[in-house]
Structure 1
Amino acid sequence: MHLPSYSSLHVRLAGGVATVALDHPPVNTLDGQMMLDLHDLLGRLRADDTTRVIVFESAHDEFFLAHVDFGIFDSYPALEAVRKDYLHVNVHQGIGELLRSQPQVTIVKLAGIARAGGAEFVAAADMTFAGTERGKIAQSEVLLGIIPGGGGTQLLLEKAGRNRALEVVLGADLFDAETAALYGWINRAVPDAELDAFVTRLAGNIAALDPGVIEGVKRALPAADLTRGLNVEHDEWYRLVGGDAPGRKMRLAMERDLQTAGPERDLEGFLRQVSADI
């Protein structure tokens, strides 16, 4: 299969497995261009019956996906080109819905930090395996005075249950891989030194299954219809993001070099300080 060159993705195809490295330096934020690239790639792979598994990894040593890029609002005109393909959800939620409905098995190899929109991407995949040392995950949006807007509330409700979803979203703490696995947020934690080999073996074993098996299993275990909850999530996110406080917090955070490695390593502490200084 021939794929175009993407500015934010590096794709390798081998043995029925597409390995996709997410790459938007300096801290791997999910921006409008990456959303467009993912939309295009997933659409092309959807029609490719030779690709049976899609593995997502990061091109960055520390961050899988830091969060949605704070310049995302500037990307809205470009995102209009694909909005028609998401009739019942917003574009950010739509990327997660594409992941959840792919005919291929989607696997995240989490060897870094995933927060907010990055955590939503992780939760939308069929499976996630995280390194016990470097794999970490958080929904930190409430620290900006908003709520998750890319499916996080509904994905957590489905995977972790209401009580744990409330803890994750409202507590806004960074979870280690072992606790995230205990909560059902990810499949399991794997020692960092074994993570690559583990995911490679699993993806290869799945890709080698007899024709029709993957399709049959995914039809028998379909992704739940989250549309109603996603609509409520979007409405609440939209209501909050237009308020005064989120805008002030975002501006001050960017003035203090958010989206660089230093602040991003302890984003929760950084944003709590920003809130205290508003």
Structure 2
Amino acid sequence: MAQIGNIEFKGKSYTTLHINVSNSVATVSLDNAPVNALSGKMMKELQLLLKDLSEDFLIKVIVFDSKNADFFIAHVDINILNEKDILDELANEAAEGLNIFQNLGEVLRNQPQITIVKLKGIARGGGAEFVAAADMSFAALEKGKISQCEALMGIIPGGGATQYLSSKMPRRRVLEIILGSDLFDAETAERYGWINRAIKDSEIDKFVSRLAENIASLPEGVMYTMKAVLPPERFRSGFKTKDDGWAKLAFAAKAGGIMSLAMQNGAQTIEGELRIEELLRRLF
């Protein structure tokens, strides 16, 4: 799957995002072939775009979807450490006490506009954390799937998963999701409170468009005031504890070995990513 090309928006060039604005709704389509892995470049472009959109008060709603029919965001790019310059830049820009993955989630959670994820493919790992950080998320019944599968790589989620999920569901379900490392279908994700609603694939585009436009057309000040009086929960102490635990596991030889083997056995290819849980379980 080839990317369509560079996109210009507000004087800046994007290579992993496509942006369209209509009726005060910005639609951001993710496009990082072949499986929409969350690379350093995509993280940088998302944060740059969110900053520009945060200063545009004519835009009331941001909808995130994917150019890839199979994947929303496969997971964090296993080769992300090769993007050292971008990672250093992201670390320097991150809010105090947050790692770069947590910072992306918090930028999204604190966006002044309403943010909506339209999940029509798979979101795993950092992609699932992005879904959980959005104000609302809707998944297609047929192909919308979500997973926190980091435990299969010898680590725990590195972004906001433990905190975000704990605010959405009981502890027992968070433990099942992270330690079970299964790929959840949209119907189960809705029942657990992970997403707002599971919707038929034939209906999800119309539903999300109608919802976004209804919110964007509300009388002036209603949406912004609602976000101000219902702010996101603060998780700073939890983020610190989670980051310490993640770093201890992530830089251990075991995790590095698993990730290396995963790449050799098809990780970050379309075929491999469609069954990544099965692939990782075979490795150990």
Determine whether 1:242 maps to 2:244: no
**Aligned counterparts, 1:1-278, within 5 A:** 2-86=10-94, 87-275=96-284
The offset of 1:3, in angstroms, is 4.6
| Superposition TM-score, scaled by structure 1 size | 0.97
AA at the equivalent of 1:45: L
* 1:159 counterpart SS class: coil
After the TM superposition, which of the residue ranges 141-150 and 226-235 deviates more from structure 2?
A: 226-235
Letter in 1 for 2:13: S
Q: Give deviations 1:140-167, integer Å, cap 9, x for gaps.
A: 0000110000111111111122111011
Q: 2:36–2:72: 8 Å Cα contact kept in structure 1?
A: yes
The 3-state SS of whatever aligns with 2:13 is coil
Runs (4+) off by over 6 Å: none
Would you say the 8 A contact 2:183–2:277 is kept in 1? yes
2:83, 2:197 → 1: CA distance? 35
> Counterparts of 1:13 and 1:5 in 2: how far apart (Å)?
16
Offset of 1:83 from its aligned partner?
2.3
The 2-side partners of 1:74 and 1:85 are apart by 19
TM-score normalised over the length of structure 2:
0.95
TM superposition shift of 1:8: 0.4
Letter of the 1:17 counterpart = V
Amino acid at match of 2:131: V
3-state SS in 2 of match to 1:73: helix
Letter of the structure 2 residue corresponding to residue 129 of structure 1: F
The one-letter code sitting in structure 1 at the alignment partner of 2:57 is D
Corresponding residue pairs, total: 275
The Cα RMSD (Å) is 1.0
- 1:18-66 superposed Cα distances (whole Å, 9 cap, x missing partner): 1000010001100000000001000001111011100000010101100
* In 2, Cα distance between equivalents of 1:139 and 1:195: 23
C-alpha spacing 1:145/1:82, structure 2 compared with 1 (3 Å): closer
Deviating more after overlay: 129-138 vs 73-82: 73-82
- One-letter amino acid of the structure 1 residue matched with residue 228 of structure 2: R
> 1:193 Cα shift?
0.3
SS in 2 for 1:5: strand
Do the aligned residues in 1 keep the contact of 2:74 with 2:125 (CA within 8 Å)?
Answer: yes
Partner of 2:278, secondary structure, is helix
Counterparts in 2 of 1:3 and 1:103: CA distance versus 1, 3 Å? farther
Question: For residue 22 of structure 2, what is the amino acid of its counterpart?
Answer: A
Identity of aligned residues (%): 50
For residues 66 and 281 of structure 2, the distance between their equivalents in structure 1, rounded to whole angstroms, comes to 27
How far the C-alpha of 1:73 sits from its partner, in A, is 1.0
Q: Which amino acid aligns with 2:190?
A: A
Deviation of 1:131 (Å): 0.3
Structure 1: gaps (5+ residues): none
Question: For the residues of structure 1 that align with 2:11 and 2:142, how far apart are their CA atoms?
Answer: 34
Distance 2:170 2:225 in 1: 27
SS at match of 1:143: helix
